[in-house]
Structure 1
Amino acid sequence: MPAGRTSGGMMSVLLQVQTDLLAENVYRICLGEPDGFIAFNHFLIVDECPTLIHLGHQQTFDALWAAVRDIMDPSTLRYLAFSHYEADECGALNQWLKMAPAAEALVGKICASSLQDFAQRSPRVLKDQETVQLGVDQLRLLETPHFPHNWDACLFYLTEKRILFGSDLATQKGFQPVFDPAAPEQAALALQEAMTFMPWGPHLAAGVQKICALDIEILASMHGSALNREQSQRFLASLLEANDRLGRMF
């Protein structure tokens, strides 16, 4: 797999592309400026029904397509999943639908209303806790309105490998390694307290409590390093603690 391939893209400088193995048959493809504020992680699940989590910006489609092609034929993707209607989550959706003719977007009911006007093909709309059989593994949708942000938000959980694809949850600055033993959860919490891009108050508490009911081996953030089991538990507990303290202000 390539490490540090660069190509032109959305950014004003060279776009760095880094592919790493997150777990067996699950790859993290990270795109971003080497010195940018945040980088963008996309997750490829190689199974009988190959699935891409986070579809990226329109301007970086070519770079992401090439990175997926280094692992498998991207035109055979079956499912395209993302948390909420936002440019880095699904800006390139129609490009993927065009180039992968059998692919279906997986979304919750609220996001589906936005895609009625945007998507070239109708998505598959999942109910809360509904699972999709990928082959060896299953992907489960969790409705989490307003968490990490946006009213239409949902998260996806890979049941057999116990991976939560956390979208903007546990965001860290910069181009980070796939795993980091040096407390990435502390960096994520500090950034959240500084930027408040997640909603302090009842929606955050409900979202955290919902995912705490899962057996999470890996929390795969869209921006920054993935958190292992212990890091995830510390981060979620600290997030609830901060919410109790700061949520009273809102």
Structure 2
Amino acid sequence: METVIDEIAPDIYRMSTYVPDAGMTFNQILVNAEEPLLFHCGMRALFPNTSQALGRVVPIERLRWISFGHVEADECGALNQWLAAAPRAEVAFGALGCAVSVNDLADRPPRPLADGEVLDLGGKSLRYLATPHVPHGWDAGIFFEETTSTLLCGDLFTATGEAAPLSWDSPLAAAGSAEDLFGYSCLAPSTPEVIGRLAALEPSTLALMHGSAHTGDGSAWLRELAAAYEHRIANSSPAGCG
């Protein structure tokens, strides 16, 4: 396996590893600024690859912040490996997730973030948005990078297969196929409303964890995703959360 790194927006980099056994890409996002932030840590076995890729852009010891979409192995499995390699780094995560998981999991105390709180990286500005149960996980949340209008989507719009770094096409069809395959999203009455809140940010780039980054009318794509989930909710019997 090889981890490749590509700039998907000014000073925002997608580090991507295609894992054949899983049949999908696993992406981490580096926001390069005075205080660089890594979004998603990857699984522990991928750390040698992903840390080497990050080092092509910024020395790992300069990493200042680490975050992720929710607590799962591909989001934060290598968390403590990153903390060991980057002595100045702090975990920045939603207050709820810190209370229920990260205070215990992380080798250093995390910085809890309130919904809507802005993390000033010096040249980049990340707004934290709590998205409980969207797409899954009580502790779920994502970031919106305000200077480039880039939404760090986490598992939203998950796609299978090997993916190009950047696409100008809609991610909706691939996300629907992955939903049919995995059933990974919580189907709750609040789901469309939470996604609609993200659409109101009018992102121009969607940085996915599984799949390409997509540049274009992110607001329209998010509204379409919200409508697709609303349709699923209306036409499905409750099956729990994926």
* TM-score by shorter chain over 0.5: yes
- 1:61 is aligned to 2:18: no
Query: Matched residues in 2 for 1:184 and 1:142: separation?
Result: 21
Answer whether contact 1:35 1:174 (CA < 8 A) is retained.
Answer: no
Identify which of 208, 211, 216 aligns with 1:229: 216
**Does the Cα contact within 8 Å between 2:169 and 2:214 map onto a contact in 1?**
no
Secondary structure at the residue paired with 2:97?
Answer: helix
Quote how far apart the aligned CAs of 1:72 are: 1.3
Structural mapping, 1:1-250, within 5 Å = 15-33=1-19, 36-113=22-99, 114-230=101-217, 232-248=218-234, 249=236, 250=238
RMSD of aligned residue pairs (Cα, Å): 1.6
How many angstroms apart in 2 are the aligned matches of 1:204 and 1:194? 19
Q: Which amino acid aligns with 1:70?
A: R
SS in 1 for 2:187: coil
Post-superposition CA distance 1:10-36 (Å, at most 9, x none): xxxxx1211111111111110123574
CA–CA distance in structure 2, aligned partners of residues 162 and 106 of structure 1: 20
SS at match of 2:193: helix
- Give the Cα–Cα distance (whole angstroms) in 1 for the partners of residues 230 and 135 of structure 2: 16
The 3 A distance-change label for structure 1 pair 116 and 183 is closer
Count of matched residue positions in the alignment of Structure 1 and Structure 2: 235
TM-score of the pair, normalised by structure 1: 0.89
The answer to whether the Cα contact below 8 Å between 1:185 and 1:227 also exists between their aligned partners in 2 is: no
Give the counterpart letter for 1:129 in structure 2: G
Moved more, 185-194 or 135-144: 185-194
Question: Are the aligned partners of 2:193 and 2:226 in contact in 1 as well (CA < 8 Å)?
Answer: no
Q: Tell me the alpha carbon deviations over residues 66-100 of structure 1, each in whole angstroms, 9 at most, x when there is no partner.
A: 11111110111000011111111111111111111
Letter in 1 for 2:43: H
CA distance in 1: counterparts of 2:113 and 2:154, whole angstroms: 18
Structure 1 portions without partners, runs of 5+? 1-14
Superposed displacement of residue 192, structure 1: 1.9
Q: Distance in 2 between matches of 1:181 and 1:133?
A: 29
Runs (5+) with no aligned partner, structure 2: none
